[in-house]
Each structure stands twice: as C-alpha cells, then as structure tokens.
Amino acid sequence: MTTSPTSAAPPTSAPTGDRPPLRLELHAGAKGSTDGTWWPRSRDLPTEAADLLDHFPESAGRINRLLFSRPDWDNATEDGHSLHRVIARRGPVKIGSFPSDDTHLMILSMASGQRLRLDVVPSDVDEAEGERRMRASAEGTDLG
C-alpha cells in the first residue's frame, strides 16, 4: 500500500534505489492528537529516518530534527548511547529520543518552527492491519 499526504502534494523526489514510496499519511486539518501516520518498512532507524527525511513532501516543509520512541527501533543506540544524528542524502540531521516511552510517535521539528507528531505503525504488522491503521489515521480515528 502506498499512501500520499492528504494535506500536500505527493513527494517530488523518487525513492532511492529499490526503496518503494513512503507510507505516509498527513492530515489536512487537526484530527486527534497527531498530524499524521508513518508506516516504515523496517525497524532500522538510520535507514527509515533517512528515507523519511529525503522523501518527505516538500510542500509540507523541511524537517530539521527528529525525536523518536526507542521501542519502535532495533538500532536506536550506537555503542550504548542514543543515536544523535542520521545521515540522509541532504546531509546529517540531528535526532533524539524519548528514553523509556512507548508512545509510537515520531516528532518532526520543521524549519518553520512547527512540530508535527506522527503515529508510527510498526513495520512488522501485516499488510491488512497496516492498511487499516493508515485508513484510520486518514479518518482521524484511533489506531488501536
């Protein structure tokens, strides 16, 4: 399933290499406590965060920093310490984490000063469940 943001034009850059398009849903208006939903394809934080940074819709703004929930990722630490940056095609971007929460959120600090809150759908959910959660997000209903 590929979704495009509902509040912005589709991403202008194509996926890198064999990467399929982002599974991202941005809300057109306030729909609950989040601004959208992202369904990454793996639990590899550096790879998925770089993909999000490089293919986030330009019309939605430029991401300056990411804050993530550690339990969503297998490699959120490096040498026992939280990752502090991710390398994207556009260059390094600072990242940080919520040390012990399990909120399944990614908070994007935008160049405009705005903060966007994305629900993170676990990458390992089956296709039907992932699609259901993306639809629920688009409709502004609970993902649970």
Q: What integer pLDDT is reported at residue 112 of this predicted model?
A: 95
Between CA 108 and CA 125 the distance in angstroms is 23
Q: Determine the 3-state secondary structure of 92 from DSSP.
A: strand
* Cβ atoms 115, 107 nearer than 8 A: yes
User: What are the per-10-residue average pLDDT scores of the chain (144 residues)?
Assistant: 37 52 83 85 95 94 94 77 86 86 89 94 95 83 62
What pLDDT does residue 119 have?
92
pLDDT of residue 32: 65
Separation between Cα atoms, residue 120 and residue 16, nearest integer Å? 21
Q: Which residue has the tokens 């994305």?
A: 118
Q: Is the pTM of the predicted complex or chain greater than 0.85?
A: no
Give the pLDDT of residue 14.
39
Other Cβ atoms less than 10 A from the Cβ of 81: the count is 7
